[in-house]
């Protein structure tokens, strides 16, 4: 029977020499993870039956079997989190598979210097995520009340005949919408720039639609930061200050972490 | 029954309260048509081929339509989110 190798993460060998790998369940839940020492880098892996986990079979399940995906993605995340608590880890994406131990070894060997750099970049640091949400309705009121150009326009419109008013109002609504987007972006970018001062690196991600978040507020900003452990507290304090200052105006801030350094340890 | 105001992009057709689900469905369709007409009208106005009088009539008609729609929503206890159906991969209706 052929085996595939499922790679969870990469760890500096010297770290695992002083502290052994804890007992962690494998992908199927029946066996345990094991380590593969490849020079200065150690891979944390498990075996998977090649007949059950072909590329097509995995794609099929990811697209059609939500329950499976949820369970397995959670397993992957939990496992990497546990590793990250103990070691400096380059976390791998969900379902990173190699054909054999040999092919994994080749990949690690040919990327060793980049991986070593990644270890240095993330050692002693944490990844934190920040999501900013806005109550658009509340913000829209503020934008349309505090903007003199809009105020002026509104006055003009109120003097028009009723039918014309309708079209001009629609135009104005559009203007308010676009001003709102600009304002939200401007504010979020300022906050991001300020927070990046507390981090070593910051990275802006795509925002999620409300279907994904299941929230009424729009997600306005989604970013990740690589922060020195000693700076995390001041980073979070800053977020709290923003929250305290802007909550009443319809802004919400959600910082989460520490996460495995998914966004700051790519070696490809 | 789930209250209609619980917006999850679904039409609630409850056997004991069918008229409410039906009202939601009918209003959803009307709202879609109303918005299509409105957008089309805006394009015509911006196209600059209508006379002032035509624009005035069109605007007034659309404004009345919008007000009427608001009244109907009020009567049936529906809000904007209730009149938006989740079309799955196509996104939402409105």
| B67-91 pLDDT, tens digit each | 999 999 999 888 888 888 777 666 6
pLDDT of residue A5: 94
Domain end (from A122, A154, A174): A122
| A17-45 pLDDT, tens digit each | 888 888 999 999 889 999 999 999 999 99
Report the gap between the CA of A35 and the closest CA in chain B (Å).
41
| A158-185 pLDDT, tens digit each | 898 888 899 999 989 888 888 899 989 9
| Range A130-157 average pLDDT | 87
Of B38, B55, B86, the CB nearest to A164: B55
Domain end (from A61, A87, A122): A122
Domains in chain B: how many in total?
A: 1
Report the gap between the CA of B17 and the closest CA in chain A (Å).
27
Of B56, B66, B86, the CB nearest to A164: B56
Segment among A118-122, A149-153, A244-248 with least mean pLDDT? A149-153
Of A163, A165, A211, the CB nearest to B58: A163
pLDDT of residue B23: 86
Which of the residues A64, A136, A167 would you substitute to probe the B interface, choosing the one with the greatest number of B C-beta atoms within 10 Å?
A167
Give yes or no: residues A36 and A142 share one domain: no
- pTM of the model as a whole: 0.78
Q: B55–A165: do the CB atoms touch at under 8 Å?
A: no
pLDDT over threshold 80, residue A67: yes
Tokens for A3, please give them. Answer: 């085996």
- pLDDT tier at A268, thresholds 50, 70, 90: low
Report the gap between the CA of A158 and the closest CA in chain B (Å).
14
| Helix (H), strand (E) counts: chain A | 10, 9
Full domain range(s) for residue B44: 15-80
pLDDT over threshold 80, residue A252: yes
Give yes or no: residues A23 and A90 share one domain: yes
**Dihedral angle, C-alpha A72, A77, A78, A79, nearest 10 °:** 90
- Residues belonging to chain A with any Cβ–Cβ distance to chain B shorter than 8 Å: 161-167, 170, 211
- Residues belonging to chain B with any Cβ–Cβ distance to chain A shorter than 8 Å: 38, 41-42, 45, 52, 55-63, 66, 86
State how far the Cα of A37 lies from the Cα of A34, in Å rounded to an integer: 10
Domains in chain A: how many in total?
A: 2
Angle A151-A157-A158 from CA coordinates, rounded to 5°? 95
Residue A185 lies in a domain: yes
| CB < 8 Å to A167, chain B | 41-42, 45, 55, 59
**Mean pLDDT rounded to a whole number for chain A:** 91
Residue A268 lies in a domain: no
ipTM surpasses cut 0.85? no
Residue A267 lies in a domain: no
Torsion sign, CA atoms B50, B52, B55, B57: negative
State how far the Cα of A220 lies from the Cα of A206, in Å rounded to an integer: 9
Segment among A156-160, A238-242, B11-15, B58-62 with least mean pLDDT? B11-15
Residue A82 lies in a domain: yes
Q: What are phi and psi of A215, to 5 degrees?
A: -115, 160
**Dihedral angle, C-alpha A247, A252, A258, A263, nearest 10 °:** -130
Peptide bond before A258: cis, by omega within 30 degrees of 0? Answer: yes
Nearest CA in chain B to A214: B8
Give yes or no: residues A51 and A165 share one domain: no
| Range A67-84 average pLDDT | 93
pLDDT of residue B4: 44
pLDDT over threshold 70, residue A205: yes
Q: A167–B45: do the CB atoms touch at under 8 Å?
A: yes
- pLDDT tier at A131, thresholds 50, 70, 90: very high
Domain end (from A95, A122, A149): A122
pLDDT over threshold 70, residue B55: yes
**Are the CB atoms for A6 and A96 separated by under 8 Å?**
yes
């Amino acid at each position: 029977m052929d085996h595939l190798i499922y790679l969870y993460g990469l760890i500096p060998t010297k770290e695992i020499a002083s502290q052994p790998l804890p007992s962690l369940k494998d992908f199927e839940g029946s066996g345990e993870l094991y380590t593969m020492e490849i020079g200065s880098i150690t891979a944390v892996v498990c075996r998977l039956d090649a007949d059950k986990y072909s590329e097509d079979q995995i794609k099929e399940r990811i697209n059609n079997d939500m329950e499976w995906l949820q369970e397995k993605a959670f397993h992957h995340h939990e496992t990497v989190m546990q590793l990250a608590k103990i070691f400096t880890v380059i976390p791998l994406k969900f379902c990173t598979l190699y054909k054999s131990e040999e092919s994994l070894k080749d990949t690690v060997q040919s990327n060793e210097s980049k991986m070593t750099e990644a270890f240095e970049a993330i050692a002693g640091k944490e990844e934190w995520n920040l999501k900013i949400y806005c109550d658009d309705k509340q913000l829209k009121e503020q934008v349309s009340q505090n903007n003199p150009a809009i105020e002026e326009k509104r006055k003009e419109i109120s003097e028009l005949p009723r039918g014309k008013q309708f079209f001009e109002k629609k135009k104005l609504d559009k203007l308010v919408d676009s001003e709102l987007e600009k304002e939200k972006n401007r504010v979020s970018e300022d906050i991001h720039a300020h927070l990046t001062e507390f981090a070593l690196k910051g990275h802006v991600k795509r925002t999620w639609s409300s279907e994904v978040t299941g929230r009424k507020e729009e997600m306005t900003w989604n970013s990740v930061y690589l922060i020195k452990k000693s700076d995390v507290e001041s980073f979070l304090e800053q977020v709290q200050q923003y929250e305290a200052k802007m909550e009443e105006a319809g802004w919400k801030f959600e910082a989460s972490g520490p996460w495995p350094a998914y966004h700051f340890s790519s070696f490809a | 029954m789930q209250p209609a105001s619980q917006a999850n992009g679904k039409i609630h057709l409850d056997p004991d309260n069918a008229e409410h689900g039906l009202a939601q469905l009918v209003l959803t369709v009307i709202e879609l048509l109303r918005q299509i007409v409105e957008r089309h009208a805006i394009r015509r106005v911006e196209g600059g081929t209508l006379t002032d009088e035509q624009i005035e009539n069109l605007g007034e008609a659309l404004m009345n339509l919008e007000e009427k729609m608001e009244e109907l929503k009020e009567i049936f206890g529906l809000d904007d989110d209730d009149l938006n159906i989740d079309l799955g991969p196509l996104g939402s209706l409105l």
